[in-house]
Structure 1
Amino acid sequence: MEQSVVSVDVVALRFWGDDAAVRVGIAPRAVAPFTGELALPGVLLGRGERLVGAARRAVHTKLGVPEAAIGAVGQLVTFDEPNRDPRGPTLSIAMWAVVGPHAGPAQWVGFDAVPELAFDHNRIVDASRGLLAGLLWKDLTFTRALLGDEFPATRAVAAATALSGSRPDPANLNRTLAAIPGLARTTERRRVKATGRPAAVWAFDPEG
């Protein structure tokens, strides 16, 4: 029986500054197959390499993200369709990564604006979106990497909307935030846009 190789494909996310969208990093492939076509950053898992290390390598080499700008990384789901890669059977382990501000060359697109991608990468993005929405507020490593140590409530709404595809009910979101261990509502209020109302600011316990 032909043996599968293992690829690590990464849904790299950015959520910077005043941008209300959680965006996914894509870049043209430099090698065959699908040379020149847009794809998620991906690499073949090296002998003795851990998944997190491979994911960080993919984001750095394929998207041009400086290593220092790559934050938390985690595992999402495995895709085992035997014909997903024309080179032969390839098991794809989808990972997530959150990246900080940098001046790399990659394209960053919203979940609702992802173009046609190589391999089965559109399927990976679609499946990962739902999984990431489920991680938000439950996986504190992911949540804190995406939102930062403190954030106004409007950013929480924007993140939840971008990942789930629908705007959360404010009262329900406030209850969700209040129930997160180590997260508390501060006395500060912050205006994110000049025309917007000041929003409550939430902050993680620095000791957490």
Structure 2
Amino acid sequence: MSKNPLIRVMRFLFFAVVVRAVILVALGLTVRHRERLPKDGPAVLAANHNSNLDALALMSLMPLKLLPKLRPVAAVDYFFTSKARGWFVTHIIGIIPVVRGSARKGVNPLVACEEALDRGEILVLFPEGSRGDPEKLGRLKTGIGHLACARPDVPIIPVYMHGLGKALPKGSSLLVPFNCTVNVGEPLHGTGSYNAFMKAFEARITALAAEDKHPDWD
């Protein structure tokens, strides 16, 4: 993250004014189990991915005092298509860029994520990788499991979001007001095997998705 005070102020104003106006006012979010959100880092928010609003929505749920620690994880090939866009997502959004396919070349694509956790930061990560169809869970990529096992003391908080894929669907630039909900799950840790973690994570986020089908919310 930039240490330039002007950029820090710009980032704060963007999230405090623009993002919160769009997410919390124009759309509105109903959050279940908000108390399960991390109070500090290191931590990982791992959510389903249906919209470009997903990362901003998750970040809007966290206190502004934690904004300097919030780091969405995103693909280089999607966000760094121009210098202006690359500057904005790096300095204002605060993303950690990941090169897709680098693992096949013998390079650990999660090094920057591991270093961020070691600094006490909070990652916003989408285990499906790319955006999928609204309200449909896609196939989970391996990154979340490897990251959990590499940093077993770091809590991985599964999150299921409903409605953002309809408010701003993939391929659209038109925001449609839609009732959106966020279900926050109990944290998991990668203290066992990779396969055991992936099975537990998939089961937990599937259960969170199923909560949207039941009206008896507490």
Scaled to the shorter chain, the TM-score interval is: under 0.3
Which structure has the highest strand share of the two? Answer: 1
Give the TM-score of the pair, scaled to structure 1: 0.26
Which structure has the highest helix share of the two? Answer: 2
Give the TM-score of the pair, scaled to structure 2: 0.25
Point out the structure with max Rg over C-alpha: 1
* Higher RCO structure (Cα 8 Å, ≥6 apart): 2
